[in-house]
Chain A
Amino acid sequence: MKLPVASFLTDLDFIRVLYIVAFSLFIVGMQRLTKPSTARQGNILAAIGMAIAVVATLLIPSVGDYGLIALGIAIGTIVGVPAARQVKMTAMPQMVALFNGVGGGAVALISWAEYRHYLEHGGNPALDTLIPILFAAIIGSISFWGSNIAFGKLQELIPGKPIVVPGQQIVNGLLLLAAIAAAIAIATGSESEGLFVLILVAAAVLGNMVVLPIGGADMPVVISLLNALTGLSAAAAGIALDNTALIVGGIIVGASGTILTNLMAEAMNRSIPSIVAGGFGGATALAGGGGDDNEGRSVKSTDAADVAIQLAYASRVVVAPGYGMAVAQAQHTVRELADELEKRGVEVLYAIHPVAGRMPGHMNVLLAEADVPYDALKEMDEINGEFAQVDVTLVIGANDVTNPAARTDQGSPIYGMPILDVDKSGSVIVLKRSMNTGFAGIDNPLFYNDNTALLFGDAKASVADVLTEIKEV
């Protein structure tokens, strides 16, 4: 005989109520995530919602095999917690890619196991279950493999530059056709696990092929797109499993990811289809030709003492940070430099390009870590009109987002992308490791301008040198 309390706890309606609480917490949490002051609380609320959803699911009477569930959760915790704790702030984007990938992988695996279950019990399920399963399998598998490639590119395990395979688009089209054809075959009556595995494999190869030719500069957009896709596939799995928490949780991410993807693509003046089609791959080949214009022109290099003098006697200085600052972990030194300049009455602002670094907001996160005040961070539209009144702009490890070719050179792959107009300021000092091209692999005419000087070396060391020199000015 069951206790009344126990039967209440395992009542399906009670579990559904818990799900409502859970997804309400997701929504409230995301609302809070839209303001810096409440963002952390929002994330915690969403996490509590997730905990409630998991506990509620464990209460469902038909759920069994608790030992294996515990095993899976234990493995996930042992892998996930140290990874999240130890990852450096600079490596955040690829970490998000990886976490997104395993989410997509989970969707694909669950849909596979679910299909196996139906085959063992009388064959294909009704279409309102079968179609979401097939959809989840295709999208989940694409997302898993695509995210892994994105991770590999950002982690520099795979070259960041576009990898172009001849006949790329045709091969991709055929792969997608193969996956859809196999899905239709199953939906119209074929009962074959082989076909299902074929869908997973075709989608896996497609995920690899779609992301491989995309240049590193487009990677934030791609991760965001894959994030949205994983959300969609989770929602599809929710329909297949009749689970409201999965439907709502998944589709909210699908919606947010779509918006974020659009915002990022807009900031780069790129269209999502052309990114996915590997447009950067083709265009970069053109840029090789365009870049020749700069050959024979020489760059002017400078030293820390000279930079220090320029900065100390400026009245307005703008720092334009990029991925190089993140790699060198220079944000703290940059803030010390700004503090020293402010002590001398120099106004210091930061120009944040929407896609500087590897993700929107990447620079904000790093500078916040270094306690740079919010009001000193200026978004691109806010600062671009003011560069003419800026004495010195320090470009620290940014490249493509300051490239004037985006305004002038129609042949350039980044033509039309809004950039920081740093070249309009009195003088520009570019901190750079070497003359290598940026992440997108495009030459930057900014470096050859008369008012530009380059300070070669590791960004952090260079800023530290400048700081030492300023103290002596």
Chain B
Amino acid sequence: MSEMTVRRPDQKMDEIMGLLLRTGVVLAAAIVFVGGVVYLTRHQLPVTNYRVFAGEPVELRTISGILHEALALHGRGLIQLGLLALIATPVARVAFSLFAFLYERDWTYVFVTVLVLGLLVYSLFGGHAG
């Protein structure tokens, strides 16, 4: 019984965070897999030449373009959507930590977390085409 009382204060938070991360990775992998099947069954071109860097077309490197391509059920669009879900998973974890620190009224770490979240959002939405 005494062992049961040894609960770390952040245990509940850790459990939700673990679930969040696992769900994100499984969801992303499933979308990438489905996209991969579509891509391989419909891809009639010879293998893309990865030796020469050409860069992805606009519709596969912006969030709106990827959503559009994925909704059209294009294989490459679906894979990019899965990869986007994967990139969003750690971002969601940071966002969740923000709520946890707000709940604990730990203002120092609310500030720290907002800063990290801001940097991540800047990376995803900053528009770094070039």
Same complex for A and B? Answer no
